[in-house]
Amino acid sequence: MVKSLVASTHIKKVNADGIIDADDLLAAEEPLEIRLGFGRQSERQQQSISVTMRTPGNDFELAIGFLFTEGIIKNVSDVSQIKYCTDNYREQDQENIVRVELHPPIEFDLKKLSRHFYTSSSCGVCGKTSIESVKTMCNIVSSIDNLKFDAALIYQLPDELRKHQNVFEYTGGLHAAALFDTNGKLVFVREDVGRHNALDKLIGAVLHKEKIPLNNHLLLLSGRTSFELVQKAVMAGIKIIAAVGAPSSLAVQMAKEFDVTLIGFLRDKRFNIYSGEQRINFNTLK
């Protein structure tokens, strides 16, 4: 069974000229439960670690990206198998549960995981604690940082992203996360109803290609930038984040803490730089 990315519905369109009946397309939204299998071969355990509302598609990438950005795995080689749980479930639920099997040597601390999820979902209440937890988890090795992006090139990225937002084109209801190289070429893009899911799918896709760290790319987000999105980017080694919308205060704080270039309100050939302006080349501006 292959789940659709869109759903259809009947609507009434209302405008100054009157009311008409029409059909409309919606972005699909369904729950995805991520389960983890771990422990010695003779004593395997299973734990449900997350339930997220997502657009079906790229579910394995979403699961892998989530595990990586939460510090549960260091790379895709930590995973021995990933599959849908299909036994004893209703047909409509059979692709809504993913089980990720860790190799037996990989250690997993349930108590540590629960504490981390609590602080990372606090939306800034425990900001200092959350930033410190990311410092502890981050396994990206520092490298020479000579990354530069032309300001004039950055202007063009939202339009380039829009060309590749296939489902958004029909529904207008999805977030996107995209990677660009220094020439402005789109390398990866993923869409989802959840902005965090879109980024996890993107990072999961990159992990499969063994491209981490992403310290020579720019991450473009179609919406606003939250603390958790900066956290995920930091875990992947991303040094420049640009977003069409605004950043939160804690997102800016974290970007400064990890020396990440953070750009907001990227639209209509303008943007704001909140941190890391040294990576932006202004010489190309007219």
The residues that are catalytic are 123
- Strand pairing partners for 101? 37, 81
Q: What is the per-residue DSSP string for 224-238?
A: -B-HHHHHHHHHTT-
DSSP state of 57: S
* Alpha helices by DSSP H, the chain: 59-69, 110-120, 127-137, 151-163, 166-171, 195-208, 227-235, 249-257
Gap between the Cα atoms of 192 and 199, Å rounded: 9
Question: For 107, what's the count of Cα atoms within 13 Å in the CB-facing half-sphere?
Answer: 3
Q: Could you say which DSSP state residue 194 is in? A: S
Place of tokens 């907001």: 264
